[in-house]
Amino acid sequence: MRVSYFGTEDDFSPSTGEGTQRYGYNIYKHMKEKIDSELVTSNSRLGLEKEAFMHRFESDIIHMPNFRLVYPKRKKPGSAVIITEHDFQPILYPEFNYGEHAKLKTILRFKLVGMRLKSSLKADCLICNSSQTRNEAIKLGFDAKKAFVTNLGIDDRFAKPMPEKGKLDKFVVGYIGAMRKRKNLEFGIKAANFITDPKIAFDIWGKKSFEYEYLAGISKNNNLSFKGFAPEEKLVETYDSFDAFIFPSFHEGFGFEILEAQARGLPVITYKDGKIPDEVRKYCFEAESPEHMAQIIENIKGNGYGEKSKKRAADYARSFTWERCADETLKAYGKALRWPK
């Protein structure tokens, strides 16, 4: 079996802070140790189209970890085009795309993303990062028999021994992620507004976007700080600076941050009505409202998380490995090649 992985150079870079790129880097890294693999990249659509034409008869599998609208018009007999989809939110839940503060280029970008997602349904096989994403593909009409779940993994660095935390002056509630409507960070900031305890601080890590001015404007808690982008090389240390983690997203295809935080021993609080895959949200506290999230935070600060709960969640989070993801991907390849073409 020969597999060609297609995409831009960034699609296979672990340093961008994006989950899809982290996936591309790790799936190629682990699969090249198992099967005959090659990386085919270009930083333009035209370049990828050319590469697809050049490789159309060479590979048994053409796999796009982050779909770039490339389809070989002819390919090797019996081969398969496989796309990994990370979520279909822009099509199914457009209300989460952007708020009233969005610029025209952001609106247009999401429309193009929707077109890309619909086109991916033409693939011979879909690899979905979670059960939720697979269900979304089926809802859009994709053949259930050709849609497979391969849960993503978290890096080994998150499994290193957790630091012992003594008695500290501050109880730090953290967030790491984007500042866009889908992440529902407004919910977390409103939760912070309910908290008057000066010993509870909020550290918000993420690139400042068009939503930043609005989010900063609604914050009434003097102990809430916007820290900027959390560098990839310091992610473990950033998580370890927290005592609890909030992730109130409206929708996630997977949710790396939840598992990363739990792997570091943190209690994670999500939005109860958020569409987060069942396999990822399994050990989360779920808040029904900002006031309820504030109550959960205060309860954890006052009563602790509990060693049994911490260990159970950490062990579960650490079971999501890139090795397991690669093994499940290899099984999907085998099934795709056995289908009648």
Q: Which CATH architecture has domain 2-152+321-338?
A: 3-Layer(aba) Sandwich (3.40)
**What's the pLDDT tens digit per position in 1-13?**
889 999 988 899 8
**What's the pLDDT tens digit per position in 142-200?**
999 999 999 999 999 999 998 887 667 899 999 999 998 899 999 999 999 999 999 99
CB-based contacts of 86, cutoff 8 Å, min separation 6: 19, 20, 23, 66, 129, 133, 253, 254
Domain ranges of the chain: 2-152+321-338, 156-318
Task: Copy the structure tokens of residue 279.
Answer: 């396999």
Homologous superfamily of 156-318: Glycogen Phosphorylase B; (3.40.50.2000)
Q: What pLDDT, on the 0 to 100 scale, is given for residue 98?
A: 66
**What's the pLDDT tens digit per position in 234-257?**
999 999 999 999 999 999 999 999
**What's the pLDDT tens digit per position in 106-141?**
667 667 777 778 888 989 999 999 999 999 999 999
Is residue 56 very low, low, confident or very high in pLDDT (cuts 50, 70, 90)? low
What is the total residue count of the chain?
Answer: 341
Question: Is residue 189 left, alpha or beta, with left meaning phi > 0 and alpha meaning psi from -120 to 50?
Answer: alpha
Q: What pLDDT, on the 0 to 100 scale, is given for residue 264?
A: 97
Distances (CA, A) of 260 to 22, 86, 162, 187, 257: 13, 18, 12, 21, 5
More reliable by pLDDT, 73 or 5? 5
Is residue 317 very low, low, confident or very high in pLDDT (cuts 50, 70, 90)? very high
Q: What pLDDT, on the 0 to 100 scale, is given for residue 341?
A: 47
Is residue 87 very low, low, confident or very high in pLDDT (cuts 50, 70, 90)? very high
Q: Tell me what percent of the residues of the chain surpass a pLDDT of 90.
A: 66
More reliable by pLDDT, 121 or 287? 287
β pairing state of 36-41 and 200-205: unpaired
